[in-house]
Amino acid sequence: MAKEITGPILRALTLCKTIGAHAVLREVSFSMERGSGLAIMGPNGAGKSTLLKVLSGLWAPSGGELWRFGRRIGDETSSDQRVVLLGHHSFLYPSLTAFENLLFYAHLWGLRKARQRVVEVLRQVDLLWAQNDLLQTFSRGMVQRAALARVLLADAQLLLLDEPYTGLDGAGRQLLDRILGDQKRTGRSFILASHDEDDVMRVADAVALLVGGRMVWWSYTDKLRPEQLQRVCRGDYDKEGA
Amino acid sequence: MMIFVVMMAFLFALSLGSHVADLHAALPGILWMAFLFAGMIGMGKTFANEVREEALTGLILAPGDKIAIYLAKLTGAFVFMVLIEIVSTPLFLEVFQVPWRGPWTLWLLILALGAAGFVEVGTLLSTMSVHTSSGDLILTMLLLPLEIPVMIMTVQATRDLLTLTRAGFWLWIHGLIAYDAIFWVLPLMLYDYVWEV
């Protein structure tokens, strides 16, 4: 499948990733425009996390083409400050405070006015009150908010979010919805991997289904009813030909 | 690590008794065995801070050359190892009743080359094993055989320094330099690949 979601910010053409003898991604093709949100859904082991790792530059693709911001990424791993990944873990140090962790990343990314920026993002995720607490004392939801703050810190053009709602309470989920809406309004884009149809319908402009490493179906969310998406996720994607 | 080294010094000195000749003969081997095992304890902790929340992934995705992560870990491990050596070598000499022989610069040279050889291999293997489920086992199984040349050369060089055998001493030092150079260059060539192991 090589259907265009339009736009030049990210483009994958028959992208493949093999780990050992196992093909985790098989000829995945799509592209994304600036200021849009794409949701990747699929059962466990479908390759969602692997796809995000390849798109982030953490893992090199085994085949196909990957273009980010008009530049082709070769078969090497590559980091780019315009792309940030939120994984299953926070990528933070448990023995440092939330402020110290974010300041460390701000320096690592060479941000100007680093302290000011750290305070801004901590306020944005409503974690300023716990800025001097060690990460190891945080609840799961607070760690997720701190991880979100790290992702927002660099003011990246493309956010890659692997199940970002995990661990968040009701207020946290609303906060994330708001942040993702702001991202799109300011011309930034995101790709999120999720199992939750409600989350996807709320924040994404398009949704794609990954099964066995293949992108088997996709649709714009404004042309989709929630029950259709539920049927697709149950495996009836052939009947919902988007 | 330091407690382990001190314990090794006293236990071996006590078990060898008061025969000065035995103590002198045993010192080089026991000294470097203590450093080897103390270093292995340290190597197992190289990426301990990065494991729980996968901070290493965050470092890899940061702008800049990934080799900087390796070099930073290598430098930290090297400084720590040399400090332990500098503090504990006089203790070993005292406990084993060995008079200080040879210029201190040559002692520093052996200690630095031995530490470099150890931490170069150790840091590379730690990086390769950090994402594997049985990382500690892999580290131990691969580290010990790869450290055999370093141990042989450092023990021989230390013995030659204590007996003031200069010709033999420089032969082992040249061997150590060659070994260190190989394991300095190898990770620079492999490092991009190592992250995905």
SS (H, E, C) chain A: CCCCCCCCCEEEEEEEEEECCEEEEEEEEEEECCCCEEEEECCCCCCHHHHHHHHHCCCCCCEEEEEECCEEECCCCCCCCCEEEECCCCCCCCCCEHHHHHHHHHHHCCCCCHHHHHHHHHHHCCCHHHCCCEHHHCCHHHHHHHHHHHHHHCCCCEEEEECCCCCCCHHHHHHHHHHHHHHHHCCCEEEEECCCHHHHHHHCCEEEEEECCEEEEEEEHHHCCHHHHHHHHHCCCCCCCC
Give B33 or B129, the one with higher predicted confidence: B33
Our CA-based measurement puts residue A222 at a distance from the nearest CA of chain B, in whole angstroms, of: 34
Interface test with B, best of A52, A54, A77 (most B CBs within 10 A): A77
Is A79 close to B62, i.e. CB distance below 8 A? yes
Mean per-residue pLDDT of chain A: 88
Structure tokens at A210: 């990954």
The pLDDT score that the predictor gives to residue A240 is 57
**pLDDT category of residue B53 using cuts at 50, 70 and 90:** confident
Is B58 close to A80, i.e. CB distance below 8 A? no
Q: Closest to A91 (Cβ–Cβ): which among B54, B64, B66? A: B54
- Residue of chain A whose Cα is closest to the Cα of B196: A59
Is A87 close to B49, i.e. CB distance below 8 A? no
The pLDDT score that the predictor gives to residue A6 is 47
Is A108 close to B54, i.e. CB distance below 8 A? no
**pLDDT category of residue A77 using cuts at 50, 70 and 90:** low
Query: Which residues 16-55 of chain B have a CB within 8 Å of chain A?
Result: 49-50, 52-55
ipTM score: 0.85
The pLDDT score that the predictor gives to residue A78 is 65
Structure tokens at A45: 């082991």
- Residue of chain A whose Cα is closest to the Cα of B47: A93
Q: What's the rounded Cα separation, in Å, for the pair B185 and B153?
A: 20
Is A79 close to B52, i.e. CB distance below 8 A? no
The model's pLDDT over B39-51, given as tens digits with 9 standing for 90+, comes to 888 887 778 888 8
CB atoms within 10 A of CB A135: 22
Is B49 close to A93, i.e. CB distance below 8 A? yes
Residue A1, pLDDT > 60, answer no
Mean pLDDT, residues B108-136: 86
β-strand partners of A159: A84, A190
The pLDDT score that the predictor gives to residue A3 is 45
Q: Which residues of A90-109 are buried (b: 16+ CB within 10 A; e: fewer)?
A: bbbbbebbbbbbbbbbbebb
Domain boundaries, chain B: 2-194
Is A109 close to B192, i.e. CB distance below 8 A? no
Nearest to A217 by CA among A22, A30, A24, A50: A30
Is B192 close to A150, i.e. CB distance below 8 A? no
- The label of the residue with tokens 């060539």 reads B189
SS3 B60: helix
Q: What's the rounded Cα separation, in Å, for the pair B104 and B90?
A: 11
Q: Greatest CA separation found in chain A?
A: 53
Mean per-residue pLDDT of chain B: 86
Is B55 close to A91, i.e. CB distance below 8 A? yes
**How far, CA to CA in Å, does A1 sit from each of A28, A33, A67, A191, A216?**
7, 18, 17, 18, 7
Q: Which residues of A touch B68 (CB under 8 A)?
A: none
Q: What's the rounded Cα separation, in Å, for the pair A160 and A70?
A: 18
Query: Do the bridges between strand A206-211 and strand A214-220 make them parallel or antiparallel, or are there none, so unpaired?
Result: antiparallel
**How far, CA to CA in Å, does A82 sit from each of A57, A69, A74, A179?**
11, 9, 17, 17
Structure tokens at A92: 């933070």
The pLDDT score that the predictor gives to residue A191 is 95
**pLDDT category of residue A75 using cuts at 50, 70 and 90:** low
Nearest to A33 by CA among A242, A206, A213, A214: A206
The CA-CA-CA angle for residues B187, B77, B92, to 5°, reads 125
Q: Which residues of A touch B196 (CB under 8 A)?
A: 59-60, 77
Structure tokens at B66: 């990934």
Q: Closest to B61 (Cβ–Cβ): which among A85, A88, A95? A: A85
Q: Which residues of A touch B57 (CB under 8 A)?
A: 58, 85, 87, 89, 91
Pair A204, A191: CB distance under 8 Å: no
Helix (H) or strand (E) holding B30: helix B20-43
Nearest to A68 by CA among A13, A108, A4, A124: A13
Mean pLDDT, residues B123-148: 81
Our CA-based measurement puts residue A79 at a distance from the nearest CA of chain B, in whole angstroms, of: 5
Nearest to B146 by CA among B168, B123, B169, B171: B123
Mean pLDDT, residues B80-101: 88
SS3 B38: helix
Query: Do the bridges between strand A10-19 and strand A63-68 make them parallel or antiparallel, or are there none, so unpaired?
Result: antiparallel
Q: In this prediction, what percent of chain A has a pLDDT beyond 70?
A: 92
Interface test with A, best of B47, B53, B69 (most A CBs within 10 A): B53
